[in-house]
Amino acid sequence: MMMNISVLEMNMFCLFMFMMSAFSLILSFSSFLNSLIILESIVLSIYFLMSIYLISSFESYFLMYMLVLAVCEGTLGLSIFIKGMRVSGVSNYKYLNLF
């Protein structure tokens, strides 16, 4: 049995995923690693939303560029996280002494 999901339902799901990720990023801004995971879910929801429209117009090369940028963003965030953990030893924002 196959489920038929309309484009409107996919759009609503992607927008809901984006809004919940942005809302959770605002509320749980204490841990750096948690913020990185939430940012990746925001990028994933934007990718899903763009893939709905760009697959139908045969411009899927732009989706590949977006995936490459998402991987670079994740790698850069993790490397900053690891460097911060080695220097300060804590991953929470409230315990970091930035000044």
Burial level of 45, CB count in 10 A (0-12/13-18/19+)? buried
Domain limits, the chain = 30-92
The better pLDDT of the pair 5, 13 is held by 13
How much of the chain exceeds pLDDT 90, in percent? 12
Q: What is the pLDDT of residues 42-84, one digit of tens each?
A: 999 988 888 887 777 767 788 888 889 899 988 998 898 888 7
Which residues in 1-99 belong to E strands, given as ranges? none
- What is the reported pTM? 0.78
Gap between the Cα atoms of 70 and 44, Å rounded: 8
pLDDT at position 77? 87
More confident position, 2 or 13? 13
Contacts for 67 with CB less than 8 Å, ≥ 6 apart: 47
